[in-house]
Structure 1
Amino acid sequence: MPLLAAEKATVTPLFSNVADSVTIPAEIYGQFAEHLGTCIYGGLWVGENSPIPNTSGYRNDVLNALKELKVPVMRWPGGCFADEYHWTDGIGPKENRPVMVNTNWGGTVEDNSFGTHEFFNLCELIGCEPYLSGNVGSGTVEELAKWVEYITAENGPMADQRKKNGREKPWKLKYLGVGNESWGCGGSFTPEAYANEYRRYQTYCRNFNGNRLYKIASGASDYDYNWTDVLMKNAGRHMNGLSLHYYTVKGWNGSKGAATKFDNDDYYWTLGKCLEIEDVINNHDSIMDKYDPAGHVALIVDEWGTWWDEEPGTISGHLYQQNTMRDAMVAALSLNVFHRHTDRV
């Protein structure tokens, strides 16, 4: 049976003096914008000619909500989508941009009207740091290198192209992800092969005109400690951060469970699974300490949270799900864990 509204629960906050000496990085509260469902098209972006109230194509209600949240950093374009995204398709006059099939998320046909300019301008509008996910899986070293140059260079052929497309001054780019989930949807690499690719890709991502890139390697999923060991051993000195993905999910091959229909056992299982992230962080952290005892390489937990079955009757592959207080508890507990690990996270 689901939890009844009449049932009462008591929450007792526990305080520790440790909090007095810890600085919580704002980036822990960062956001993730992937081309998935209506996150981008219809969500962030409706276009300048939409009847939905907008500012330069951005939905006013979403824009104002993001400003109110004071989002510190936003990651784009994915997720799995990043490793099939070719940035040159998303620049220039919108009527000339080619369409693409989003093969990761529902086979949706997208018109590329939301691209580099639209993302970086959005970050400026809401005052957040952009976090760019580069295409390693289906891209090339040259492609990623030129994207960085297009965004950050003051002069040169890529800068000239950007200026022709309406942006005179370069943007600032701090966070650069070199691939995403490279063990899976981002190319199905072995850790040894990805470590070599990471070293090669990051070499050609240059710092232009005082812009300093914070380079993030595609890290492990959940309990894959060997991935972290190999990456730190073979490429640790070439990175500023190593990502980690951890979802509170029962399994990937069958039903993940309904978002709104659950009993007490489901509820408590979810909270228990969520709290396992602390053991996962501790184990990855101890491996990183072997190769980086001074803590120069950060653990970037850039995908986490609950994941349920799609709601019946919604578009297949768009992963539409509702949220309940159960999801809010997972968010609160996860963030509390991150706060305790700010020396590495």
Structure 2
Amino acid sequence: MYETEAQVQVLVNGLNPQQQISRHIYGHFSEHLGRCIYDGFWVGDDMKVPKKDRIRLDIVDALKKINIPNLRWPGGCFADEYHWRDGIGPRSQRPKMVNTNWGGVTEDNSFGTHEFLELCNLLNCEPYVAGNVGSGTVEEMSKWIEYLNFDGQSPMTELRKQNGRSTPWKVSFWGVGNESWGCGGEMTPAYYSDQYRRYSSFAKNYPGAPLKKIASGANVDDYNWTETCMRNIGPRNMWGITLHHYTLSGGWYDKGPATGFDEDRYFGAMKSCQKMETLINRHGAIMDKYDPEKRVALVVDEWGIWTNVEPGTNPGFLYQQNSMRDAIIAANTLNIFNNHSDRVRMACLAQTINVLQALILTEKEKMLLTPTYHVFDLYKVHHDAMLLPVQFKSPEYTRGKDNIEAISISASKDSTGKVHITLANIDPNTKNDVALQLAGFKFSQVEGRIITSASYADVNTFDKPDKIKPVAFKGASVAGSTVNVQLPPLSVVVLELK
């Protein structure tokens, strides 16, 4: 039998909501890494699955179901060794390249700019392109933007038309480098901020295609990087600045397994995941010094759990299974983003298919949806909805002498007037009774869905792809202006109030 804590009192403030939760918080990241692009989105002609050209359409359909808002490409570390002209024109004439960051494999560049933007068109999502600052030139980046966005007469538009695209794509989200403190060039923040100003000054706005330029921001808790960039670049010259933080169950050299882990590993991952709250608060406070009006978005464009690769797979491909633990990580992190949506206005989970905390895993023609995918399915109700602030004191999940918050909650009101509340119970041993008191909203009924499993280490497999999936939740009831919720251990719940 599970233990039960005393009832948790939660106030949901529905009076005059002011802050919108951007749908772009629910974005994704697809790098030329392992089997994310090649043998993920982009498959061989002989693969017996529905395709458009070589884009795998069952994957497209699955991502459209969760209303994927944006897709970041081509990296990651790969972005700063990628030269875009190698990926245009007749595929048989494109030069091959070595992916030095991820496994040393040779790529044929058959998936390039046109293929990526066709994928985004099929997904009905916005492209987010990471430009090459590390090994590229100002001219190279400037001409890529012209190729993508200009509709007049120029050498780049003529080249684009020769390659089969008459009209510009009007790409808006533009990353000026990636991880410039590390694989993107080993730069200091002062040097990078000067480079950003140089590169971005030649990243032009063309008619109908204003760029949302995004600076390469801090690695985890490098607050000096944020301070330097905010001071040297300034809020008028960038739409956003990035933050990267990966959940680890141990450390960088002891990441732990994706399956078969014990409760100590589970607790370690939850503690690492919850660090995101501190990071956003502290980076946000620095940003507030230079940008009190919050014009610059904090763009968390790499997040998720990073574990050891699956045994027997290429260590450079970063292929890992996806467990009930990972669903809890996704739910907790997305609640944090929602509650900080005044500053966090874009994020990208790493990565979409077959890499790190993937939404989808494939094995030849087979495809499965991970527990993390199902969390994004539940949470899509928050896209562009108005944030309803929540106040509560979470019970603690204790392991040894350490403890973390056991419950994570966010709430919103959509354009039709419906209120949605998402809750995650991180504690795998304790059921929590929650009393949600709503101010400023009348309702008479509640419906819910839940994701849970017997163990935090449970996974979906190709033999049992539906072991973990959303089902109807019957543990919520209405009593006047209160919703009483019996929140099982190790669970993610979405409630809809009508």
Q: Deviations over 1:180-205 (max 9, x none)?
A: 00000000000000000000000001
Tell me which residue corresponds to 2:382.
none
Range moving further from structure 2, 47-56 or 309-318? 47-56
Conservation of the 8 A alpha-carbon contact between 2:70 and 2:126: yes
Tell me which residue corresponds to 1:233.
231
What TM-score do you get using the length of structure 2 for normalisation?
A: 0.66
The runs of 5 or more residues in structure 1 that have no matched partner are: 1-6
- The reply to whether residue 245 of structure 1 matches residue 244 of structure 2 is yes
Q: Take 1:307 and 1:8, find their aligned partners in 2: how far apart are those partners? A: 29
Tell me which residue corresponds to 2:78.
81
Cα distance change on mapping 1:13 and 1:167 into 2, 3 Å: farther
Tell me which residue corresponds to 1:135.
132
**What amino acid sits opposite 1:17 in the alignment?**
V
Conservation of the 8 A alpha-carbon contact between 1:133 and 1:180: yes
- The reply to whether residue 173 of structure 1 matches residue 164 of structure 2 is no
How many equivalent residue pairs?
338
- The reply to whether residue 264 of structure 1 matches residue 263 of structure 2 is yes
Q: CA deviation at 1:114?
A: 0.3
SS in 1 for 2:317: coil
Range moving further from structure 2, 89-98 or 55-64? 55-64
Q: Deviations over 1:112-154 (max 9, x none)?
A: 0000000111111111010000000000000000000000111
The runs of 5 or more residues in structure 2 that have no matched partner are: 345-498
Q: CA deviation at 1:47?
A: 4.7
Tell me which residue corresponds to 2:366.
none
- The reply to whether residue 334 of structure 1 matches residue 329 of structure 2 is no
Tell me which residue corresponds to 1:289.
288
Q: CA deviation at 1:17?
A: 2.3
Q: Take 1:165 and 1:16, find their aligned partners in 2: how far apart are those partners? A: 57
Cα distance change on mapping 1:214 and 1:16 into 2, 3 Å: farther
Conservation of the 8 A alpha-carbon contact between 1:207 and 1:213: yes
Tell me which residue corresponds to 2:51.
54
Conservation of the 8 A alpha-carbon contact between 1:178 and 1:218: yes
Conservation of the 8 A alpha-carbon contact between 1:49 and 1:57: no
Q: Deviations over 1:223-278 (max 9, x none)?
A: 000000000000123111000001112322x2210111211121112111111110
SS in 1 for 2:36: coil
Q: Take 1:146 and 1:190, find their aligned partners in 2: how far apart are those partners? A: 26
Q: Deviations over 1:65-116 (max 9, x none)?
A: 1221211011000011100000000000000001111111001111000000
Q: Take 2:155 and 2:308, find their aligned partners in 1: how far apart are those partners? A: 47
What TM-score do you get using the length of structure 1 for normalisation?
A: 0.94
- The reply to whether residue 323 of structure 1 matches residue 318 of structure 2 is no
Cα distance change on mapping 1:305 and 1:16 into 2, 3 Å: farther
Q: CA deviation at 1:24?
A: 1.2
Q: Deviations over 1:152-200 (max 9, x none)?
A: 1112110110000000110021100000000000000000000000000
Tell me which residue corresponds to 1:217.
215
SS in 2 for 1:35: coil
Q: Take 2:221 and 2:315, find their aligned partners in 1: how far apart are those partners? A: 29
Tell me which residue corresponds to 1:4.
none
Tell me which residue corresponds to 1:3.
none
Conservation of the 8 A alpha-carbon contact between 1:47 and 1:56: no
Q: 1:124 aligns with which of 114, 121, 124?
A: 121
SS in 2 for 1:231: helix
Q: Take 1:259 and 1:53, find their aligned partners in 2: how far apart are those partners? A: 30
Cα distance change on mapping 1:9 and 1:238 into 2, 3 Å: farther
**What amino acid sits opposite 1:101 in the alignment?**
V
Conservation of the 8 A alpha-carbon contact between 1:73 and 1:131: yes
**Matched residues, percent identical?**
56
Question: Which structure's residues are more often helix, by fraction?
Answer: 1
Tell me which residue corresponds to 1:31.
28
Q: Take 1:284 and 1:147, find their aligned partners in 2: how far apart are those partners? A: 31
Conservation of the 8 A alpha-carbon contact between 1:98 and 1:112: yes
Conservation of the 8 A alpha-carbon contact between 2:129 and 2:175: yes
Tell me which residue corresponds to 2:451.
none
Range moving further from structure 2, 299-308 or 60-69? 60-69
| Structure-to-structure mapping, 1:81-120, within 5 angstroms | 81-120=78-117
Question: How much is the aligned-residue C-alpha RMSD, in angstroms?
Answer: 1.7
Q: Take 1:10 and 1:67, find their aligned partners in 2: how far apart are those partners? A: 39
Q: Take 1:95 and 1:297, find their aligned partners in 2: how far apart are those partners? A: 42
SS in 2 for 1:329: helix
Conservation of the 8 A alpha-carbon contact between 2:49 and 2:58: no
Name which one, 1 or 2, has greater alpha-carbon Rg: 2
Q: CA deviation at 1:49?
A: 5.6
SS in 2 for 1:176: strand
Q: Take 2:127 and 2:42, find their aligned partners in 1: how far apart are those partners? A: 17
Which structure has more RCO (C-alpha within 8 Å, separation ≥ 6)?
2
Q: Take 1:14 and 1:90, find their aligned partners in 2: how far apart are those partners? A: 55
**What amino acid sits opposite 2:275 in the alignment?**
E
Question: Which structure's residues are more often strand, by fraction?
Answer: 2
